[in-house]
Amino acid sequence: MRTAESGTKSDNPVADLIALVYETVFDDELWPQVLLRLAGLAGADVPALGFFDPVTRQATAIAPRTDPADLLRFSNDWAGRTSLFTDLSGVAVGDVVSMQDLLPLSALKQSAVFNELLRPMGLGSAALLANVAEPGSAQAVLGLYRAAPVQDEPFEHEQRELVTLLARHIARALELRKQTSILHLREHVAFRALEHLRKGIVLLDGAGRIIFENELGAQMIDTLGPVGGDFHRLLGPGSRRSLAVGRGENVSLAREGRRSPLKLALLPLKEQRPEGAPAWLDLLSPTAIGILTDPDLDAAHRCATLQEQYELTPAEAAFALEICKGDGREAAARRRGISVSTAHTHLNRIFEKTGTTRQAELVRLLSDDGSGSL
């Protein structure tokens, strides 16, 4: 298999180039190599891939054989002035036109863009251009130009056909790049949100093995001790069977000492595998997401929230959360390991700081703002 790093090629340079085009979906730095190879195959001297946003009027380009000063001048001074992007917006995605298809040669050679931009760069009237942006996005134009001494010599039919073939693959690769960027962004935003909610996230394969874990998920699994390294064994055969048939399940994972068990909600990421589908597919991709909750971590966060919101002491905040469990002052005192009189003192101070007078009113207040939710 050819890789960009190895530089090895097959006997079909066009097929090699198409393969390289799709590698750009995952590696933007390959674009200059794509453009240079295409220019070589098409008999062009200067390749460029230009981008223009008609809303913001911002422009940029990938042009490996263009002087950076000329590229900057084009982006800052010419992208919004030339009709190049506007003219090509009406051309079907992947179709190729020549410069003279857009503007008669006589008019082109009298235009400012030709005399003040192209000619000073050593470029002439011979150019192949293609719209490579899907509708509804910023405009993207593939350009292949000829320089002196053949700067005005038209491209041959076969060269134009080759550029058309590659332009359609380039357009598809750019669209795939946009889609993968959106997926990565959604993933990033989703995990940022879940981290904010203090949830551990694990992605599991069909056997219950972890194939991805976010930072908090890894920290929670570490608290399980050595058994956390064999996470699929913790789930047990029942849970693994549930995953195999696309059913969700809630699991409690015991921890040593006085730490509360971790709560694990298993949710299938796809429906039950169709009958006859190869089981090994489930071992190559995530089939379930596990959402880990640490009750101790949640309690610590709620205590911190109460302290900040109502200026409670740590002991008062912890006792307020015990009161919210609804089984009375004495039961709350036992769980906290304090005397009834100390509990009475805590409660009076909590009433004063929260502006409440009864336990039921306190529970309602803390439940309404989410501080006392269990």
**DSSP secondary structure of 293-341:** E-HHHHHHHHHHHHHHHH---HHHHHHHHHHTTSS-HHHHHHHHT--HH
DSSP secondary structure letter of residue 271: P
CA distances from 95 to 13, 162, 193, 283, 360 (A): 21, 11, 42, 42, 72
Q: How far apart are CA 66 and CA 49, in angstroms?
A: 11
Q: How many CB atoms lie within 10 A of CB 238?
A: 9
Determine the topology of domain 297-368 in CATH: Arc Repressor Mutant, subunit A (1.10.10)
Enumerate residues 6+ apart whose C-beta is below 8 A from 342. Answer: 333
Half-sphere exposure of 115 (CA within 13 A, CB side): 8
The predicted-structure confidence for 69-97, as pLDDT tens digits, reads as follows 888 887 777 766 666 656 676 788 889 99
Distance of CA 9 to the CA centre of its chain: 32
Residues of the chain short of pLDDT 70, as ranges, are 1-10, 55-56, 79-87, 89, 136-137, 185, 191-197, 228, 243-246, 270-285, 369-374
- In the chain the first and final C-alpha atoms are separated, in Å, by 55
CA distances from 374 to 2, 95, 294, 322, 325 (A): 55, 60, 11, 10, 8
Q: What residue type is 153 in one-letter code? A: E
Q: Where in the chain is CATH 3.30.450.20?
A: 198-293
> Left (φ > 0), alpha (ψ -120 to 50) or beta: where does 98 sit?
beta
Which residues of the chain does CATH 1.10.10.10 include?
297-368
Q: How confident is the model over 165-212, as pLDDT tens digits?
A: 999 999 999 999 888 887 776 777 776 666 666 788 888 877 778 888
Residue 87 makes CB contacts below 8 A (sequence gap 6+) with 102
Identity at 294, one-letter amino acid code: D
To the nearest 10 degrees (0 to 180), the angle between helices 314-323 and 329-336 is 130
Contacts of 214 (CB under 8 A, 6+ apart): 191, 194, 195, 200, 201, 202
Give the amino acid at 75: S
* pLDDT reported for residue 4: 42
Give backbone dihedrals phi and psi of 292, rounded to 5 degrees, phi first: -95, 135
Half-sphere exposure of 153 (CA within 13 A, CB side): 10
Residue 61 backbone class (left: φ over 0; alpha: ψ -120 to 50; beta: rest): beta
- Domain 198-293 sits in CATH at 3.30.450.20
Q: What topology does CATH give the domain 13-183? A: Beta-Lactamase (3.30.450)
